[in-house]
Chain A
Amino acid sequence: MHSLANPGTIPVKGQAINVGMGQIATGDRATQFTSVLGSCVAVVLWHPRLSLAAIAHVALPKSHGQNGQPGKFADTAIPYMLEQLARMGCPKPGLVAKIAGGANMFRVGGPLQIGDDNVATIREILKTAGIPITAEDVGGTHGRKITFTCSTGEMLIEIAGEKAKVI
């Protein structure tokens, strides 16, 4: 059982779901999420006992009331993920979060340093929601490719020129 919150935008192949900018997906123990991140942040909410999870590929911190894909903004993505998980029978108590991304790809002086704002806003929203962040890999100046395995809750992080790590 797995689904994309924006059906029809990307075909789901097997149990691996590639989550693009602004998208949200949910999955069960058979699912793996992958995503490539720069200044965007992947937020994963995972229930260890049920092995159910949701992921959002967040591009911006706040929606300021704008319409659009809920996964695009941190302040709309997390409530939407909680709704989707609740529909799957996954309660909020017991959920933990892992986050990755928020790099400054354009270095100092380059255009738009949005990564730090994304991370700060996500931390704040998760704190308010009472969902602990159990692991994170954020910041820096390099992109990340992540693979999250719902059965184990492990997030593999690959950064160009560095050894892969699991958080």
Chain B
Amino acid sequence: MTSTVATNRAEIFRPLFAAATYDASAAMCRWTDGLITLTLDEVREIPLHSVTSELGFGDDLLTMVILGVESDPGTVLILTFDEDNARQLAATLTRRVRNTSPEWDELEISALTETGNILGCAYMNALTRLLGRAIIPSPPYFVRDYFASVIQQALVEQAAASDMALIGRTGFHREGEALNWHVLFVPSPEFRRMLENAIAIKPKN
């Protein structure tokens, strides 16, 4: 019951996340010559202790590109990729044969990081327009690690304020088929207040 109420409450933010996703999708579509598009999957409040399992990631090692917000270090955007499709995307973007080595080379990392940069900038530009405040992304960086390890540091500011975490999750599609890639937008409590102000709702407390 609690979870349902929390989920419904978080849905209030959907129009903002959807607009940011729309712009990010347009940018991704241009960057990949029409190959990849994005759709907003969900906006949820999740108990902190079960964020990883409820998002369906378990203890997986993932390939990720992470961007922060310059003026708000508690807000984080994380792109997660499954290995196979991330390798394929890197090969497509660099116009090379897919790398079969277990190690990622610099060109592949650069291709994924640039993808994160383009997507993240479009996402945050949309939020800048919607919130009437400059949301400037930090330089992106590439990580191969446990998803749970990354998300918990992203959630630190929210954890300081609540036992629940607000997360917006966007999915990717290639020619209409869903990919195992996601964008997770994790706002700080301060950013959440900006979102609430933008849609003119009163904070919970």
Contacts and interface: CB of A to CB of B under 8 A. Distances in A.
Contacts of B154: 111
Contact of A161 (B66, B144, B149, B160): B144
Interface residues of A, number: 36
Interface in A47-74: 57, 59-60, 66, 68-69, 72
Point out which of B49, B148, B159 has the most chain A C-beta atoms below 10 A from its C-beta: B49
Nearest to A101: B149
B40 interface: no
A37 B76 CA distance: 18
B35 interface: no
B145 A105 contact: yes
A38 B186 CA distance: 16
A7 B59 CA distance: 22
B150 interface: yes
B153 interface: yes
Contacts of B50: 9-10, 20
A107 interface: yes
B68 A59 contact: no
A72 B152 contact: no
B152 A59 contact: yes
B15 interface: no
A107 B149 contact: no
B76 to A, nearest CB: 6
A60 B145 contact: no
25 contacts: A6-B49, A10-B49, A10-B53, A20-B51, A20-B53, A34-B59, A36-B146, A38-B145, A38-B146, A38-B148, A38-B150, A39-B153, A57-B49, A68-B162, A72-B48, A103-B153, A111-B74, A111-B76, A112-B73, A112-B74, A112-B156, A112-B157, A143-B146, A145-B146, A161-B144
Nearest 10 CB-CB pairings of A with B: A143-B149, A20-B49, A38-B149, A111-B73, A36-B148, A143-B146, A39-B153, A111-B68, A105-B153, A38-B153
